[in-house]
């Protein structure tokens, strides 16, 4: 039989890590989206100069 107290502690740590990972993935997607916008804008400006 497993140690329920230890198991719950591990579950809690696991949940914390999952939450942090989801938050970091969201931030990464937002940064990537912003970078893609900047690259599109830059490309558009380059074409306007030609």
Residue 24 has which token pair? 């970091």
Mean pLDDT (the chain, rounded): 90
Q: What is the pTM of this model?
A: 0.62
Where in the sequence is the domain holding 22, given as residue range(s)? Answer: 1-50
Q: In the chain, what are the helix, strand and coil shares in percent, each to the nearest 5?
A: 90, 0, 10
Q: Where are the beta strands (DSSP E) in 11-50?
A: none
What band does 8 get if pLDDT is binned at 50, 70 and 90? very high
Give the pLDDT confidence of 30-49 residue by residue, as tens digits. Answer: 999 999 999 999 999 888 87
What band does 4 get if pLDDT is binned at 50, 70 and 90? confident
pLDDT value of position 16 = 97
Q: How many domains does the chain have?
A: 1
Distances (CA, A) of 25 to 3, 11, 31, 38, 39: 33, 21, 10, 20, 21
pLDDT value of position 50 = 74
Q: How many CA atoms lie within 13 A of 35 on its CB side?
A: 6
């Amino acid at each position: 039989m497993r140690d329920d107290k230890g198991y719950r502690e591990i579950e809690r740590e696991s949940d914390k890590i999952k939450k942090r990972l989801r938050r970091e993935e969201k931030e990464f997607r937002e940064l990537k989206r912003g970078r893609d916008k900047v690259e599109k804008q830059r490309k558009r400006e380059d074409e306007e100069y030609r």
